[in-house]
Homo-oligomer: A and B are copies of this chain.
Amino acid sequence: MELLEKYIREYGKYKDGGIVIVNSFLNHRMDVDLIDEIGKDFFARFEKDAPTLILTVEASGIGIACMTARYFGVPVLFAKKSQSKNMSGELYSAPVMSFTKGGLNYVSVCSEFITSKDKVLIIDDFLADGNAVNGMLNICEQAGAEVVGVGICVEKYFQKGGSTLREQGVNLYSQAILDLDENGNIVFVHM
């Protein structure tokens, strides 16, 4: 997605260890015009897959999922990282290792909100080792729901998440795919 690559080139920052900082427009301060275009782009790519539900995980994915869901006219379900008093009834839970925060968390959804009739589009801001996406795939499997696609804003090609999902035959679309060249500089990959 050209507009997102432009934002990353102009406003992204890089730290050692493969950390890409896009917090000025995507996952802390959010440029809502960009997020709306991101939603429109996901709709263009996944419209034919006719999802009935968009699944994401708190926190950064929620705004992107909502702006995307508006185009599809379907609800969003966001998995929670800690069990709060607002969660009720049976849960589906999956373990997720966090790349940016470190440590193992469980993500959970109330089982009443995802069923075997659902065709699920998974949306998230980042794909690195694929831990969050795998947690959501795990939840869909527990629910017996079909995953019709996975939409990612920024994929880090130098980590294993994307290639593993593609090998598994997952219908993955990443709007911007970043790799490191031999000098450790960020380059965009186009597939």
Q: Are A85 and B28 in contact (CB under 8 A)?
A: no
Query: Which of B62, B75, B86 contacts A31 (CB under 8 A)?
Result: B75
CA distance A88 to B36 in the complex (A): 25
Query: In terms of DSSP, what is the predominant structure of the interface of chain A?
Result: mixed
Chain B residue nearest to A19 (CB atoms) is B85
Known: A24-B113, A110-B23, A113-B24. A30 touches B66 (CB 8 A): yes
Interface presence of A65 (CB below 8 A): yes
Q: Are B77 and A29 in contact (CB under 8 A)?
A: yes
Interface presence of A168 (CB below 8 A): no
Q: Which residues of chain B are within 8 angstroms of A60 by Cβ–Cβ distance?
A: 62
Q: Which residues of chain B are within 8 angstroms of A67 by Cβ–Cβ distance?
A: 66-67, 70
Q: How many copies does the complex hold?
A: 2
Interface size class of A (residues with CB under 8 A): 35 or more
Interface presence of A76 (CB below 8 A): yes
Known: A19-B86, A59-B62. A70 touches B36 (CB 8 A): yes
How far does the Cβ of A131 sit from chain B's closest Cβ, in whole Å?
14
Interface presence of A58 (CB below 8 A): yes
Q: Are A86 and B32 in contact (CB under 8 A)?
A: no
Interface presence of A170 (CB below 8 A): no
Known: A23-B110, A32-B69, A65-B63. A100 touches B85 (CB 8 A): yes
